[in-house]
């Protein structure tokens, strides 16, 4: 029996199958690697996004600045509107007050001699409020004492002495008093008028003169204690004041009170006593 000769070639090896466990591990590694790559990619994207947010573009900055400016101008406009409205209201009020005052002044001066000024009327009212001396009689005294040929006498225009008040050394240094000034004047003695030269008071202004009359001159006991003048102050009665001035010896004219009352009637000066 002959033996067959075996070939020197080895039979082809059958490829071994990978175990299911090995394949599973390999797949898991691949998935893990893929997942990690995605995470890195996402993280990088977030970092880039974050970097972009931290560094806005020039256009974004310009837009934000514009919005801020618009908001600021909006607030300024509202404030300006409010301030403007308030200013208008105040201006209208001031104009109304001025118009009312002007109307009152004009009403006060209507019908009075042209030389009677707003200052005279205003100060006469003020002294009435402070001392009770009726304003109507005060204005009547200015007309009787200083009215001359449609205007004021030189004593009144130059020295602001509206009432013919004579000088006394005790008046030196009084508020509004400048000093003595000599003038010729007509006086009545025993029914006869004679011209004499006497010292009168020079004042800084018409207002100062009217003030001095109430604050100083009429505070002398001769006038302050006179019953007629006290009645005039209590009742704001210009007629009683006229009688009181004559009774206390303000003027040498025996018809002085009647002269004052005649002027009060002619110009309705009683309206200033209210």
Confidence at residue 71, expressed as pLDDT on a 0 to 100 scale: 72
Name residues whose C-beta falls within 8 Å of residue 74's C-beta, 6 or more positions apart in sequence.
none
The three-class DSSP label of residue 249 is coil
Length of the chain equals 274
- 136: which 2 tokens? 């109507």
Question: To the nearest whole percent, how much of the chain has pLDDT over 90?
Answer: 56
Cα 63 from chain centre: 44
Taking Cα atoms as reference points, which of 224, 218, 222, 178 lies closest to residue 200? 178
> pLDDT band at 28, cuts 50/70/90?
very low
Of the given ranges (46-50, 227-231, 262-266), which has the lowest mean pLDDT? 46-50
Mean of pLDDT values over 51-61: 58
184 bridge partner residues: 197
Query: 3-29 burial, b for 16+ CB within 10 Å, e for fewer?
Result: eeeeeeeeeeeeeeeeeeeeeeeeeee
Mean pLDDT of the chain: 79
Report pLDDT digits (tens) over 191-239: 888 999 999 999 999 999 999 999 999 999 999 999 999 999 999 999 9
The shares of helix, strand and coil residues in the chain, as percent rounded to the nearest 5, are: 65, 10, 25
Q: Are 220 and 174 in contact (CB under 8 A)?
A: no
Q: How far apart are CA 250 and CA 165, in angstroms?
A: 9
Q: Stretch 148-170: mean pLDDT, rounded?
A: 97
């Amino acid at each position: 029996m002959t033996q067959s000769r075996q070939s020197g070639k080895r039979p082809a090896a059958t490829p071994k199958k990978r175990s299911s466990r090995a394949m599973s591990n390999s797949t898991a590694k691949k998935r893990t690697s893929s997942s990690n790559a995605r995470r890195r990619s996402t993280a990088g994207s977030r970092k880039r996004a974050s970097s972009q947010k931290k560094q806005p573009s020039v256009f974004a900055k310009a837009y934000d600045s514009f919005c801020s400016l618009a908001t600021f101008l909006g607030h300024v406009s509202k404030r300006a509107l409010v301030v403007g409205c308030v200013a208008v209201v105040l201006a209208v009020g001031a104009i109304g007050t001025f118009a009312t005052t002007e109307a009152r002044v004009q009403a006060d001066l209507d019908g009075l001699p042209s030389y009677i000024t707003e200052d005279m009327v205003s100060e006469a009212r003020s002294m009435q409020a402070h001392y009770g001396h009726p304003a109507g009689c005060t204005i009547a005294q200015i007309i009787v004492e200083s009215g001359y040929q449609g205007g004021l006498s030189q004593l009144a225009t130059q020295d602001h002495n509206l009432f013919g008040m004579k000088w006394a050394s005790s008046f030196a240094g009084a508020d509004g008093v400048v000093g003595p000034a000599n003038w010729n004047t007509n006086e009545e003695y025993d029914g006869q008028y004679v011209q004499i030269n006497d010292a009168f008071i020079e004042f800084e202004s018409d207002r100062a003169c009217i003030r001095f009359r109430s604050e100083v001159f009429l505070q002398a006991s001769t006038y302050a204690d006179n019953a007629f003048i006290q009645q005039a102050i209590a009742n704001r009665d210009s007629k009683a004041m006229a009688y009181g001035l004559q009774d206390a010896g303000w003027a040498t004219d025996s018809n002085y009170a009647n002269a004052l009352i005649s002027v009060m009637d002619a110009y309705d000066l009683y309206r200033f006593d209210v």
